[in-house]
Structure 1
Amino acid sequence: MTRIPHWLAQHLAALRVVLVLTLLTGLAYPLAMTAFAQVPGLESRSEVTAADGRDAGSSLIGQSFTDAKGKPLKRYFQSRPSNAGTGYDATASGAGNQGPESVVDTADRPSLLTLVCGRSKAVGELEGVDGSRPFCTPDGVGAVLGVFRDGGTSGRVTRVVSLDQACPARPFLRSYEGVEVTCAESGADYSRAVTVPVRGDAPADPVVPADAVTASGSGLDPHISPAYAKLQAPRVARERGASVADVRRLIATYTSGRTLGVLGEPGVDVLELNVALDRTYPQQGA
């Protein structure tokens, strides 16, 4: 009896594995999920119906609650920022792809730090609270200096520029190590400067929660933190003519706990909460 060569046996075994996995993951699993989705009562669980009976959207996909100019509608809870297209575009899900090192603005794109600072300032103004954060200037950009030294990265300071404050902005610091701080001139090359983020005197635990100033990885997260929802409660209550306590109770109703009790953090579904607001505290002409 002729034995199959060892190398051929290995290739045949690999081929069998590929065929089995293809059948399982490419055919059996999709068919099983499709069949499961057809079970009565499951196929439309994420749909949210507005107070007037219209389809308001999905509880699994976030959306913005802004006017035509992008300004927040004060009568609604606001979602977190989104990098999906122009904002919550389900066909363009994605992240901003900026990380902790993104602290210096470029001509065509603000840094992640400046985005966070600007959002925190805007939320603070909307909610009537302190929107300051560490490493942010009072005007809502990154508090980052470009320090030039006569020895390159060491030595005497010869020039200092507030890198994220474009002229004619007034620098957030008057001087650094005895040298006057200037604003950043358009088109100037500051690549030889040493980048120095400045913490400032903002509280270590900002009033504005982190999810209010950062986008999710998909850009489609429908939830905000309970802390961010509670921060918005006084404004929404005022706009709706309701008590803050009643609005907070509504927040609690639409707050979900950790998955399986241990995964993730509690979240508030913004769409479901806003639809409940329209039903409970309708506004004429809104």
Structure 2
Amino acid sequence: MASRTPSWIRQHLAALRALLVFTVLLGLGYPLLILGIAQLPGLKDKANGSFVHDAKGNVVGSRLIGQSFTDDQGNPIAKYFQSRPSAAGSGYDPTATSASNLGPESTVDTLADPSVKDDTGKQSLLTAVCARSVAIGTLEGVDGARPYCTAGGVGAVLAVFYDQPGYQGNVTRVVSVNEECPAAPFLTNFDGVKVECHTFGDDVSAGKLVAVRGNAPATPAVPADAVTASASGLDPDISPAYARLQANRVAKACGLDPAVVRRLVDDHVHGRAVGFLGEPTVNVLDLNRALEQAAK
């Protein structure tokens, strides 16, 4: 009588057969099937990235993935509407899609170590927002002030030290944590104590962090989407408010009547999905292409 194959070998052979079958079906067959379906007429353009072509057939962008309209030094090109910030790689990189992963509690900058070559430190989310708002305000000729931001564009945050535990008693020392010496702090005094600038290596972790709102308007002139990146870092749209903020600058750079540019913006506003989901948006690439046609 022939000996039977041990059960453990039969089990492993069955598992191997199942692995091979499902590898072929799900690892090869299914992806190829989906790829074939995606290339059907009506689906091909979207599946391939919704690329936008110019009159010569060259790809100039995508309706689904944002892009920067800046020069080689990263400065905004005045004749184009600008996109919102991106934290995806060096900006709008589909292979590195991500957010900054910084939240509301990111208010204290990491100062650069002077002993480390090319160390630039690390901005907190608050300072990044403040700096962007000041820069956009300057570019668009409006007030870039925001609550909890200094006039210089950093987070208005103090480390306040007390003479008793639990942040009790008298204030003994105050440091403006995001203003590196020899900068002059945005406040001269706090609770009767002179405010100091911050130096690298000065540990202020024992102080109570106090964010100072300042006198900026409750609704800043620079919209929120102009100073914050989307969760994916690839958002191709901006708010109508941000587009309208840029209209005068773009009109001047293109030699167009501001009313014409504002009308272009209004014509490119997309309403909420199914009437109530999300917020109205403007696709920056589509708007800039329409602007180029109007400027000819």
**TM-score scaled by structure 1?**
0.86
| Residue of structure 2 equivalent to 1:42 | 43
- Tell me, in whole angstroms, the C-alpha distance in 2 between the residues paired with 1:25 and 1:226: 44
| Residue of structure 2 equivalent to 1:102 | 106
| Aligned with residue 294 of structure 2, among 265, 280, 283 | 280
Q: CA deviation at 1:82?
A: 0.4
Three-state SS of the structure 1 residue aligned to 2:164 is coil
Q: Deviations over 1:142-187 (max 9, x none)?
A: 0000001011311100000001111111101000000000111122
Q: 1:280 to 1:121 in 2, by over 3 A?
A: same
Letter in 1 for 2:123: P
Which residues of 2 match residues 131-210 of structure 1 at below 5 A? 131-152=144-165, 153-210=167-224
Residue identity over aligned pairs, in percent, reads: 59
Q: Which stretch shows the higher mean deviation, 147-156 or 66-75?
A: 147-156
- Tell me, in whole angstroms, the C-alpha distance in 2 between the residues paired with 1:274 and 1:110: 31
Q: Deviations over 1:93-139 (max 9, x none)?
A: 10100001111111331110000000000000000000000000000
Instruction: Give the RMSD, CA atoms, in angstroms.
Output: 2.1
| Residue of structure 2 equivalent to 1:126 | 139
| 8 A Cα contact 1:104 1:164, kept in partner | yes
- Where structure 2 has 5 or more consecutive residues not aligned to the other structure, the ranges are 1-22, 112-120
| Residue of structure 1 equivalent to 2:70 | 66
Runs of 4+ in 1 over 6 A off after TM superposition: 22-29
Q: CA deviation at 1:23?
A: 12
| Residue of structure 1 equivalent to 2:89 | 85
- Tell me, in whole angstroms, the C-alpha distance in 2 between the residues paired with 1:59 and 1:142: 34
* Number of residue equivalences: 262
**TM-score scaled by structure 2?**
0.83
Tell me which structure has the larger Cα radius of gyration: 2
| Aligned with residue 58 of structure 2, among 51, 54, 57 | 54
| Residue of structure 2 equivalent to 1:245 | 259
Q: CA deviation at 1:280?
A: 2.0
| Residue of structure 2 equivalent to 1:15 | none
Three-state SS of the structure 2 residue aligned to 1:155 is strand
